Structure 1
Amino acid sequence: MTSLIYPPKPRPGDRVAVVSPSAGLPALFPHVYELGLRRLREEYGLEPVEYPTTRIMGADPRDRARDLTAAFADPTITAVLATVGGDDLITVTPHLDDAVLRANPKPYFGYSDNTNLLNHLHRLGIVSYHGGSVLVHLGRPGKLHPLTADSLRAALFTAGWYDLTPAPKWGDEPNDWNDPGCLADEPVMFPSEGWRWQGPATVVEGRIWGGNLEVLHWLLAADRVGAAASLAGSVFLLETSEELPPAIEVYRILRNLGERGLLATFPAALVGRAKAWEFARRLTPTEKQAYAEQQRAAITRAFAEYAPHAVLVFDVDLGHTDPQLIVPYGGEVRIDAINERISVRY
């Protein structure tokens, strides 16, 4: 496996970059964005620094790459946070100055389309952090979710081991950012049944690789995923987006990863709780349950065919649902299937 380093951590009072390497949604939802910035200052004691494309929709990929490179190059910036995801960060990473990123490693926080950049940093040997959107999580209506807030604080400021906690309640029906009053009340939440464990009762340790499954398929098509041998022994992180990919497509993507020789090298997988509702697809509770069950079945099928030895942990709160736990991408994880515990080293 590639040798990876943990970048130095920020401290309260530090300046941190806030960037939009994917979609410039702060331009469309400034009320949500400003709440996220305020919480960065008030809850975490960090001073956000914006870049020229942070509030621009459709900025040229070269300009977004220039902002990212500048954020890493600036010695007064100690961490870099993405505002949100999107769908075209794959066009940005080729324009990054990799020599600058390697020479100035910093903690980077993002998820969803940011899988492109997390994977890019991984290939440069830099540990980054899956999660922590300025809009979605810091700008959460009502208040910060306590599990998200605690996980993000630990990932930002500490370097030790951290036990992930199953959420007692979860949500996937966000408030409508188009509504000016959307920030007044917390999103609707539902009772959780906790994590679901499959596979052998054993303890697995490794380094995390993966991300949003749809984006991983784009990266495979663009030939930007390392050889199977370079990722052997990784703990596979996978989660799906608000586009609600059908179960058969989830299976096919994993089948293709299996045919590439990747799945067989993974001793375990952390599977994010499936988001099963979106404004354009308002599934009923019964339909949501069926969607999640079908997705779990598709993932189980693929691993049974290509990696029957793997420990699988389903419904971990690390993807497109609320709350969101932060995990170190390329960082260490310990999965204890005997005592049903997951610990990560930040």
Structure 2
Amino acid sequence: MAEMIHPPKPRPGDRIAVLSPSAGLPAIFPGVYEQGLARLREDFELVPVEFPTTRVMGADPRARARDITAAFADPSLTAIIASIGGDDQITVLRHLDDEVIRANPKPFFGFSDNTNLLNHLFGLGVVGYHGGAVMTSLARPGRMHPLTERSLRAALFTSGRFELTPSVEYGDEPHDWADDTLRDTEPRMLPAEGWTWSGAHRTVEGPLWGGCLEILSWLLQAGFVAPPERFDGHVLVLETSEEMPSAEEVFRTLRNMGERGMLERFAAVLVGRAKAWHFDRPHTPEQKAAYRAEQRAAVERAVAAYAPDAVLVFDLDIGHTDPQLILPIGGAALVDAEHRRVSVTY
């Protein structure tokens, strides 16, 4: 396996970059964004430093790439966190200065469309962190979820093993960001049933790779993913977005990874609890359960066909649901099916 660089961690009081590598939504919803920045300052004691495109909607990909490269190059900044995701970060990648990034590795935090940058860093041999965006995890109405805060704090400031724990509650019905009156009201949470284990009954350990499934599909189409042999013994991370892809789309993406000779390389697959509600698809609890069950079956079907020896864990609190655990992409994960435990190394 390739040797991965774990960038040095920031400390309270440090300056960190806040970027918008995808959508410049801080320009559209400044109140939400400012709430996230306030928590960075007050709860984490970090000093956010913005760049020219951080509050610009529709910024040119080359300008965004310049900001990303500059943030890595600046020795006064000790970490980088994305404001939010989007849908076009893939257009930024070819404009990055990889030599600068590789020579100045820093912890990068983001998810959703930021799967692009996490995969890019993985290709450069640098560990990045899936989760922790300013306008979602940090700006959660009312307060940060305690499970999210604990995980993000550990990922930001520590370097040891961290055990992931199932949440007793979950949410996937965010408030309308345009309604400022809801800023101090916590979102609706529902009882969580914990993780679901499937596949092989064994313990595996390996580096993590993956992220938002829709973005992984785009990266594979664009040829931006490493050759299949790069993933031997790795642990695959999958989660889906508010676009709520169908179970058949999920299966076909994984099937195509199988036909690529890629899916069989993974020793385990960690799957996030599927987001099953959106403003234009306000599913009932019964519809949510059915959607998640169909997606789970689709993953099991693909993995059984191409990676029958893999351990599967479903309904982790990662990605687009609340709370959100942070995963080190390129960092080690231990998946123990016998004792039903998952830990990662930050």
**Category of TM-score, reference length = shorter chain:** over 0.9
Superposed displacement of residue 206, structure 1: 0.2
- Tell me which residue corresponds to 1:184: 184
Query: Matched residues in 1 for 2:27 and 2:122: separation?
Result: 30
Q: Secondary structure of the residue that 1:181 maps to in structure 2?
A: helix
Superposed displacement of residue 182, structure 1: 2.1
Q: Which runs of 5+ in 1 are unaligned?
A: none
Q: Secondary structure of the residue that 2:226 maps to in structure 1?
A: coil
Query: Matched residues in 2 for 1:271 and 1:14: separation?
Result: 33
AA at the equivalent of 1:115: T
Superposed displacement of residue 267, structure 1: 0.7
Contact 2:200 2:308 in 1 (8 A): no
Contact 2:200 2:312 in 1 (8 A): no
Q: Which runs of 5+ in 2 are unaligned?
A: none
- Tell me which residue corresponds to 1:12: 12
- Tell me which residue corresponds to 1:60: 60
For residues 100-144 of structure 1, the C-alpha deviation after alignment (integer angstroms, 9 at most, x for no partner) is 000000000000000000000000000000000100010000001
- Tell me which residue corresponds to 2:338: 338
Q: Secondary structure of the residue that 2:182 maps to in structure 1?
A: coil
Q: Secondary structure of the residue that 2:197 maps to in structure 1?
A: strand
Contact 2:171 2:190 in 1 (8 A): yes
- Tell me which residue corresponds to 2:152: 152
Query: Matched residues in 1 for 2:341 and 2:84: separation?
Result: 29
Query: Matched residues in 2 for 1:26 and 1:314: separation?
Result: 32
- Tell me which residue corresponds to 1:34: 34
Contact 2:203 2:337 in 1 (8 A): yes
Contact 1:265 1:307 in 2 (8 A): yes
For residues 45-79 of structure 1, the C-alpha deviation after alignment (integer angstroms, 9 at most, x for no partner) is 10000000000000000000000000000000000
Query: Matched residues in 2 for 1:207 and 1:345: separation?
Result: 9
Contact 2:72 2:100 in 1 (8 A): yes
Query: Matched residues in 2 for 1:240 and 1:134: separation?
Result: 19
* Correspondences of 1:291-310 after superposition (within 5 Å): 291-310=291-310
Superposed displacement of residue 184, structure 1: 1.7
For residues 150-206 of structure 1, the C-alpha deviation after alignment (integer angstroms, 9 at most, x for no partner) is 000000000000001100000000011011112120000000110000122211100
Q: Secondary structure of the residue that 2:181 maps to in structure 1?
A: coil
Counting aligned pairs with the same residue, the percent is 64
Query: Matched residues in 2 for 1:16 and 1:182: separation?
Result: 28
Query: Matched residues in 2 for 1:137 and 1:29: separation?
Result: 15
For residues 230-265 of structure 1, the C-alpha deviation after alignment (integer angstroms, 9 at most, x for no partner) is 111110000000000000000000000000011111
Contact 1:13 1:45 in 2 (8 A): yes
Q: TM-score, normalised by structure 2?
A: 0.99
Query: Matched residues in 2 for 1:181 and 1:52: separation?
Result: 29
Q: Secondary structure of the residue that 1:44 maps to in structure 2?
A: coil
Query: Matched residues in 1 for 2:57 and 2:70: separation?
Result: 19
Query: Matched residues in 2 for 1:177 and 1:73: separation?
Result: 33
AA at the equivalent of 2:194: G
- Tell me which residue corresponds to 1:261: 261
Q: Secondary structure of the residue that 1:186 maps to in structure 2?
A: coil
- Tell me which residue corresponds to 2:83: 83
Contact 1:2 1:123 in 2 (8 A): no
Q: Secondary structure of the residue that 2:180 maps to in structure 1?
A: coil
Query: Matched residues in 2 for 1:259 and 1:200: separation?
Result: 21
Query: Matched residues in 1 for 2:19 and 2:291: separation?
Result: 33
AA at the equivalent of 2:90: I
Query: Matched residues in 1 for 2:246 and 2:200: separation?
Result: 28
Query: Matched residues in 1 for 2:116 and 2:2: separation?
Result: 17
Query: Matched residues in 1 for 2:327 and 2:250: separation?
Result: 22
Query: Matched residues in 2 for 1:248 and 1:170: separation?
Result: 25
Query: Matched residues in 2 for 1:200 and 1:227: separation?
Result: 25
- Tell me which residue corresponds to 2:142: 142
Structure 1 outlier segments of 4+, above 6 Å = none
Query: Matched residues in 1 for 2:233 and 2:261: separation?
Result: 12
Q: Secondary structure of the residue that 2:78 maps to in structure 1?
A: strand
Query: Matched residues in 1 for 2:67 and 2:222: separation?
Result: 23
AA at the equivalent of 1:89: Q
AA at the equivalent of 1:331: G
Contact 1:113 1:215 in 2 (8 A): yes
Superposed displacement of residue 319, structure 1: 1.2
Query: Matched residues in 2 for 1:25 and 1:200: separation?
Result: 42
